Structure 1
Amino acid sequence: MAVLARGEDYFGKEGFPVAVRRVRTEPDGGPSHLHDVTEVDHFHDFCELVLVLSGRGRHVLEGQSFPVSAGNVLVVQGSQVHAFRERDGLVLVNVMYDPERLPLPEGLLRRLPGYSALFKLEPSFRTAHRFSSRLDLGREDLGVAEVLAERLAKEEQGKDPGHEALRLGLLVELMGFLSRRYGESEAGESRALLRMGRLISTLEQQYAEPWTVAALARMAGLSRTNFLRTFRQATGQSPIGFLIGLRVESAKRLLRQSDRSMTAIAHDCGFGDSNYFARKFREATGRTPTEFRRRPLE
């Protein structure tokens, strides 16, 4: 039976939810750190970014086994049951973080096509792709990622004033670096995930366009059914729900910063008319656009 690796064991009950642990294959098979469950089937109530620094072994994920070696990068989402077995000199760096408790700049990160592909899509499609959609880093890039993780660990250990801001910044830098490297991947399965990542990035930039599900599915190179399933896995929302969220956020900015009419704002944000705009805005915020303009900070 899989065990739950609890975030509070790594972050502390009220601690900042970013932690780094280095895992070595010890000669006696012993743990590398307190609460080391590397070889035990386990799942998390947080997310984990794994850098394979050296050695080799097998990653068992949801009952399927894949070989891992130096340069592999894995993102493990909280509910995924996994373990590392048959470790031969395997050295890992585990960067653990709780996205539910961190102010990650998701909107900005998703402008990197590789971010959605690596951090949202690849973990869900790893078994279907037999790990062929993974990120592999060369020696130089692996060194850069390791240095960022070491700096993050140093801030965690020192806890000097402002360490939370620096840890968040280093985590975002590491995510951005790996996302860019994933965006350069040539593997067929990776390219398919990147198409979806680019589509999400396009929607972030061009949310006011009159998008349809059919047009978006064509852009992604997927059938309508596969597209809808894949998009929800990537964002947690339907394509139309995602678009409406982007449009509402844009409308909120215009309501705070301008005196444009409701009709003009609805048009600029991609809503068909002011009545539809008002209805969707209220569904999302609990207030009408007029009420929001009067009290934008409530």
Structure 2
Amino acid sequence: MHLMLQPMKFHSGVQLRLHNPRMDRIWLYPPSYIYHQSIIRSRGCAGDRAFPMTDDILARIRRLVGTVSREQLRYVECFVGDRVALFIPSVGPCFYAVTPDHAHPGYSFFLTFDDETRIAAEGKIITSKPGLVLAVDPDAVHHELAADEPPRYIGIFIERNFFVRQLFIYPDIPDEPFAFRSFPPGPELISLLKDFMNEAEAGLPGRDTLLEAVGTRIAHSLIRAAFAFPPMSDRLGARLEIHRAVEYLHGHYAEKVTVAVLARIAAMSPSHFSRTFRRETGHPPLDYLIRLRLQKGRLLLRAGDDTITTIALKCGFASPSHFTACHQRHFGISPSEYQKKIG
């Protein structure tokens, strides 16, 4: 039985896209695995309400992650429940993750998007594998190695005693640590992460109760996948060709991208690609790209380190006026008004 009651000696995607009738938002996504959708409410992106984060939210994060600060999470999207939390570095790294030789009080699992995330632990370098989950035990000393590009993963943090109680339900699980082991996720995990993000953002009555329920399902999904229980049927039928194109967009959103280029990546004709992409994502390819650039731009506006001109160029807009026009059209306010609103 895998109980881990005593202290024991971490992070890093598929990208999803979720749909909300009011507005939508693009999230990180693991290549050739599952295409995930995420939402944005009419008030703006998740970060609008996360920063400045409340003392209660920060206290919840620290119970799961450790002595992290608001500043260290400035580039990280946070979806926080009482026992489970999700973290996605978006336009920059988690500065706590690169702190040398730190550890987390809870269990952590990292659904990786690429092979660029590297972790130093137990005297070796562990490199992420796209589409797999990397498991880290509580109190396991490690740190993420800094890279030129932001890491691409969804970090799933689960309170230690809560996770142990879920493990108790499976009497045949061996009593051994995860020890930075990787495993393929169950096909239901992406949908559960989507539900958790949606509920965390909604802020509706019953939020904590529902986050606990979905968090419990996330824990069981990870346990069943880690110990090779029979998988649930795959309900996510997104096409691998479109996954490749979406993955390309997330890595090249600041560059000039055409439908012809994306169609070649997906090995389709441009017309067939455009129809398939819209069916899978809900948006034409270039509209999806604009939304992705806007999401990245709003995160940089929130961070407050760059001018609007610099942000526009970093995110692939032709000019600051193009960025402003797109932002105004999609969100109803200009970038400068948005900065004043969150300042």
Bigger Rg, which one: 1
Q: Relative CO higher for 1 or 2, CA cutoff 8 Å, sep ≥ 6?
A: 2
More helix by share: 1
Same fold (TM over 0.5): no
More strand by share: 1
TM bucket normalised to smaller: 0.3 to 0.5
So what's the TM-score if we normalise by structure 1?
0.42
So what's the TM-score if we normalise by structure 2?
0.37
